[in-house]
Amino acid sequence: MKKFGKKGVALVVIVLVVIAGVFGYQRYEAAKAAEAAKVLTLNGNVDVREVSLAFRGSDRIAEILVDEGDMVKAGQVLARLDSRELELSIAKTKADIRGQQSTVEKLHNGTRSEEIAQAQRNYESAQAAAANAESTYARYQAIYDDIQGISRQTLETARHDAEAKQAAAGAAASAYEEAVNGSRPEDIAIGEATLEASNQELARLEYQLSQYELRAPADGVIRSRLLQPGDMASTSTPVFKLSLLNKKWVRVYVKETDLGKVYEGQSADVFIDSQAEPIHGQVGYISSTAEFTPKTVQTDELRTALVYEVRVYVDDADNVLRLGMPATVKIAL
């Protein structure tokens, strides 16, 4: 009887312990459920912005300086085209500018004193020749009129020679006057306009040469290298695909019943499998249109439900998030 009493006490104790354990577990589960009700947990994938980088011009690729997976900085040179032909055009244009600059300076400086003196001598010589031809023609005319001692053809030849010498004297006079007066304003304006056109052409060619270097528009990671040295580049054929680092987000989908709990600017924590510490972010976009649950995040409960896309933007300073990486988002309610 005494033995049985001890066994009975032990059995009662065990029953009480089991009851206490069940009660404690129920309280724990209730507390856990209450705590979970304060947090909205969503599953999704990391998304990043990508840029397709192509040359502005079309030529053969001479160098490719980066490879897939390389980190690049904004403004960094990624590839170059063969620019030999363009460099020759630039050299020719520079030579044309030097020649035209000399012409413009000459127009501004006017005629040199030696050239004026030469023009004066040419004018005086032409005047003398004209006077001599005129005198000869007058003498022949007198002979022809008095005794017809010369032929009509000889007289006409003398007349034409006098007229030609007179015209040459007029041209020499104009040249002398032009030398004395210097360049006309119209000629100076034409020379300066030609020089300006050459300078603008040089600027265009130098800008075109700068486009023969493909530079990174922002910090990022080379995701794909699509062409190789020796390939012909074109404006429609990308050379690289660049994943930008300045904007990343996790794309998740929220049930209609939970949509009212989420708003733009709301704080959120992003968890990934490779690290225990969360990455902080905030809700930045909520779709205004419902859609069927994407296959990548389907669950039994949501298989036929309509959901809304939500983007949780994060500041990934350590660059641990990768495109398509699965992530868990927890939003405190």
Angle ∠(157,159,162) on CA atoms, nearest 5? 110
* pLDDT over 70 percentage in the chain: 87
Distance CA 283, CA 251 (A): 10
Report which of residues 79 and 261 the model is more confident about: 79
Question: What confidence tier does 119 reach under pLDDT thresholds 50, 70, 90?
Answer: confident
The tokens describing 135, both together, are: 């005198």
Question: What confidence tier does 55 reach under pLDDT thresholds 50, 70, 90?
Answer: very high
Within the chain, all domains assigned CATH 2.40.50.100 are found at 51-79+212-240
Distance CA 47, CA 313 (A): 9
Where does residue 75 fall: left (phi above 0), alpha (psi -120 to 50 degrees), or beta otherwise? left
Mean pLDDT, the chain, rounded, equals 84
pLDDT at residue 179 is higher than 80: no
Within the chain, all domains assigned CATH 2.40.30.170 are found at 33-48+246-332
- Look at domain 33-48+246-332 and name its CATH class: mainly beta
CATH topology of domain 51-79+212-240: OB fold (Dihydrolipoamide Acetyltransferase, E2P) (2.40.50)
Check if the beta carbon of residue 206 is closer than 8 Å to that of residue 33. no
Identify the pLDDT of residue 6. 62
Distance CA 28, CA 24 (A): 6
Distance CA 106, CA 236 (A): 48
pLDDT at residue 274 is higher than 90: no
Give the global pTM: 0.58
The per-residue pLDDT for range 206-218, each reduced to its tens digit, is 999 999 999 999 9
The tokens describing 222, both together, are: 């080379």
